[in-house]
């Protein structure tokens, strides 16, 4: 699933391509993509308009039109949002086309068909509960060591589960959680409430550093993720534990282990993370 660095990279690349171009038509090839509108309502809201700005909140992309309306995408497991010429061959799993002026169109391609799209025509986030309840983002001013400490205080749940909870930290996913915990030298199954203030500060710094590096290297590509131009990311070359089960820890040489915590795969070094 695209996480914060991947979604931010998609936002940046698309913002350079699709803003201020008149929308000529929309084609919905997978109607279940639409969560709160019909194909006709979407077409009426978009026709003749243009995208003026693209924001990101957590793992959501928010396209602002030159009206009061917004289009919100969540790419889920395998969604790809790319800007391509009209003549570009149609991929098999294309769910949506937004046809723009100047021989360009925005396409949502989604093999697993879990991606969602909402049309917001008023203030607030409507029925998008994940946006309405989202916690602070790792690079926001509000995400401080004290904020992280408050999310962990008194909790018996594993620290991995707590930092993956989007109501506590917006945008952090499995890859960057594993990498953050490794850098902070914290076992992912530790009860969150057992972390000391020193460990909280270390984890806070690690989360911010990993997210910043993920963005700098344009995200992590294992299989499906590409940016808005269709290019793969580069952070997979810098991963230290995620996807490295059985390989040597880059710090101590111990074999990387993988366990399941609250239904999620977790990779860690049994020597470095205690």
Clarify whether 3 is annotated catalytic.
Answer: yes
Clarify whether 264 is annotated catalytic.
Answer: yes
Clarify whether 2 is annotated catalytic.
Answer: yes
Give dist(CA 92, CA 100) in Å, integer. 21
Active-site residue, from 17, 76, 113, 264:
264
Active-site residue, from 57, 59, 70, 244:
59
Name every residue whose Cβ is closer than 8 Å to that of residue 6 and which is 6 or more positions away in sequence: 214, 219, 220, 225, 227, 233
Active-site residue, from 2, 5, 138, 188:
2
* SS3 of residue 100 by DSSP: strand
Give dist(CA 15, CA 17) in Å, integer. 5
Distance of CA 166 to CAs 3, 64, 147, 170, 179, Å?
11, 23, 14, 5, 17
Give dist(CA 79, CA 115) in Å, integer. 6
Clarify whether 136 is annotated catalytic.
Answer: no
Active-site residue, from 3, 8, 105, 179:
3
Give dist(CA 207, CA 172) in Å, integer. 9
* SS3 of residue 140 by DSSP: coil
Catalytic residue numbers read: 2-3, 59, 264
């Amino acid at each position: 699933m695209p996480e914060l660095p991947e979604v931010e990279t998609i936002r940046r690349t698309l913002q350079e391509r699709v803003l201020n171009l008149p929308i000529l038509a929309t084609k919905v090839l997978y109607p279940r993509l639409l969560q709160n509108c019909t194909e006709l309502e979407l077409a009426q809201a978009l026709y003749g308009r243009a995208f003026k700005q693209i924001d990101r909140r957590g793992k959501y992309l928010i396209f602002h039109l030159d009206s009061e309306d917004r289009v919100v995408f969540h790419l889920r497991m395998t969604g790809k949002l790319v800007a391509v010429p009209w003549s570009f061959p149609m991929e098999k799993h294309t769910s949506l086309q937004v046809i723009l002026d100047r021989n360009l169109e925005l396409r949502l391609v989604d093999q697993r068909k879990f991606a969602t799209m909402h049309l917001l025509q008023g203030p607030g986030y409507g029925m998008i509960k994940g946006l309405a309840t989202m916690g602070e983002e790792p690079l926001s001013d509000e995400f401080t060591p004290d904020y992280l400490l408050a999310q962990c205080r008194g909790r018996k749940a594993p620290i991995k589960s707590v930092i993956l909870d989007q109501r506590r930290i917006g945008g952090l996913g499995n890859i960057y959680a594993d990498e953050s915990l490794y850098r902070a030298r914290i076992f992912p199954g530790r009860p969150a409430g057992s972390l000391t203030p020193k460990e909280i500060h270390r984890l806070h710094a690690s989360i911010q550093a990993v997210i910043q590096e993920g963005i700098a290297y344009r995200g992590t590509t294992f299989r499906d993720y590409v940016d808005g131009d269709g290019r793969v990311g580069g952070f997979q070359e810098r991963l230290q534990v995620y996807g490295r089960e059985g390989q040597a820890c880059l710090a101590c040489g111990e074999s990387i282990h993988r366990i399941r915590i609250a239904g999620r795969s977790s990779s860690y070094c049994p020597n470095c993370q205690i």
